[in-house]
A and B are shown apart, each in its own frame.
Chain A
């Protein structure tokens, strides 16, 4: 199979990740649930991973790097834990449902007001809109670092400065960019950074987290066992315990730590350069195929290695199925959990076919995908 669905998850993981998870499966006890060597081994793996991830993202306090199962969980914790009834939030039309649904829920349950920074037909925003939408009751700007549909990126430093100037929380969904681009919370003025471990971080599924800056108080999203202060009837207040009820995914975190080691050793710039070159090669080849329409802004200096397209009026699901059944090429079709972005692009009905490139893809695979798109376009239109 030619796997070009890396924006959904990087299916092939570095060997060191496989090794770390395999080893963890037979050596790690339950962290914080005992003082024997098995439990301590797990504690040490998690402690070191926490420290490394905090350093990777510029989170000043490692204890405020909270492990979660994925970005969605991190975003739910960040959004529901900091925004109160009657407050106002600014977000964008680029967002994934992992941002939109937690916000819609706050709107419906707490009367939180929402405003959206709109995207044009290329998926681009006007940064001045963020400032224009600020009201006295605005509490936060919540936005993605990059659209999972088009690969277009937002400039975090610009938005972070606006948030800082107006005393707002700046909550960032880095699902598509963590591990692919350098992100420094301090430089970008990020209050809470939410990430997943299984995409560009190249770690196992079921890993992710949020990094909390400074003295921000985030209410626990879930409460329960912590391995400490057992007779307390409420969740302990100290981070990270405050937000980490229940057994952590120690096996996955061991893999995520190994993945981070791989990223640091290989160099994320080098990894991104390879992925970007493949995406560019693919884009340059498919953009002129008759009937092919590519979405997004390809003039931007930086973008995720994503090329999303449609072939004539062909249902994106049929196109993706044809790519898989006839060419053994795995891509993503449909709505990509990004309803507002589809509305902006005018692809609500058709959906779109997303090709997303990873470090282990090759130029030959890229060529094969181009040929497949050309062949489908030649027969379907």
Chain B
């Protein structure tokens, strides 16, 4: 098993928003990747964006620029 580490996790209302955010971050050169939605956020399924834990300000800025609303934005050990 990989060792758990703290990450900033952004969850979205739709997969479309998750894909749009991935594209936006890649174009902006922002660090992060899509992961399965952690159960601490929702017992459902879906995608979440995993970014460095100290990057909340940057992620909020990116979300705003992309015009995407995150359903959750929180630091978790994943």
B45 close to A227 (CB less than 8 A):
yes
A328 to chain B, nearest CB (A): 46
Q: Judge whether B57 is part of the interface by a CB distance below 8 angstroms.
A: no
State the majority secondary structure of interface residues on A: loop
B46 close to A47 (CB less than 8 A):
no
Give the contacting residue for A47; candidates B13, B20, B43; CB below 8 A: B20
Rounded to whole angstroms, the CA-CA distance of A50 and B17 in the bound complex is: 12
Known contacts A32-B46, A47-B23: A228-B34 contact under CB 8 Å:
no
- Nearest to A230 among chain B residues (CB) is B44
Give the contacting residue for B15; candidates A32, A62, A231; CB below 8 A: A32
B14 close to A40 (CB less than 8 A):
no
**Across-interface contacts of A32 in B (CB, < 8 A):** 15, 46-47
**Across-interface contacts of B19 in A (CB, < 8 A):** 43-44, 46-47
Give the contacting residue for A35; candidates B34, B42, B43; CB below 8 A: B34
Known contacts A228-B46, A229-B46, A230-B45: A47-B16 contact under CB 8 Å:
yes
B43 to chain A, nearest CB (A): 6
Q: Judge whether A31 is part of the interface by a CB distance below 8 angstroms.
A: yes
Q: Judge whether B53 is part of the interface by a CB distance below 8 angstroms.
A: no
* Contact bitstring B31-43, A, C-beta under 8 A = 1, else 0: 0001110000011
A246 to chain B, nearest CB (A): 14
A229 close to B47 (CB less than 8 A):
no
A142 to chain B, nearest CB (A): 27
B36 close to A35 (CB less than 8 A):
yes
B72 to chain A, nearest CB (A): 13
B36 close to A241 (CB less than 8 A):
no
Rounded to whole angstroms, the CA-CA distance of A31 and B20 in the bound complex is: 14
**Across-interface contacts of A43 in B (CB, < 8 A):** 15, 18-19, 47
A31 close to B15 (CB less than 8 A):
yes
A63 close to B46 (CB less than 8 A):
no
- Nearest to A64 among chain B residues (CB) is B16
Q: Judge whether A232 is part of the interface by a CB distance below 8 angstroms.
A: yes
A254 to chain B, nearest CB (A): 15
Rounded to whole angstroms, the CA-CA distance of A241 and B44 in the bound complex is: 14
**Across-interface contacts of A47 in B (CB, < 8 A):** 16, 19-20, 23
Rounded to whole angstroms, the CA-CA distance of A47 and B15 in the bound complex is: 9
**Across-interface contacts of B44 in A (CB, < 8 A):** 228-232
Q: Judge whether A34 is part of the interface by a CB distance below 8 angstroms.
A: yes
* Contact bitstring A145-188, B, C-beta under 8 A = 1, else 0: 00000000000000000000000000000000000000000000
* Contact bitstring A226-243, B, C-beta under 8 A = 1, else 0: 011111100010111100
B14 close to A35 (CB less than 8 A):
no
Residues of chain A from 116 to 132 with CB closer than 8 A to chain B in the complex:
none
**Across-interface contacts of A63 in B (CB, < 8 A):** 14, 16-17
A228 close to B36 (CB less than 8 A):
no
B46 close to A40 (CB less than 8 A):
no
A35 close to B15 (CB less than 8 A):
no
Known contacts A47-B20, A227-B46, A232-B44: A34-B36 contact under CB 8 Å:
yes
Rounded to whole angstroms, the CA-CA distance of A44 and B15 in the bound complex is: 10
A241 close to B35 (CB less than 8 A):
no
**Across-interface contacts of A229 in B (CB, < 8 A):** 42, 44, 46
**Across-interface contacts of B45 in A (CB, < 8 A):** 227-228, 230
Rounded to whole angstroms, the CA-CA distance of A361 and B65 in the bound complex is: 47
Rounded to whole angstroms, the CA-CA distance of A35 and B22 in the bound complex is: 12
Rounded to whole angstroms, the CA-CA distance of A239 and B45 in the bound complex is: 17
A255 to chain B, nearest CB (A): 19
Give the contacting residue for A238; candidates B14, B20, B34, B47; CB below 8 A: B14
User: Can you show 6 pairs from A to B with CB atoms below 8 A apart?
Assistant: A34-B36, A40-B34, A43-B18, A228-B14, A238-B14, A240-B16
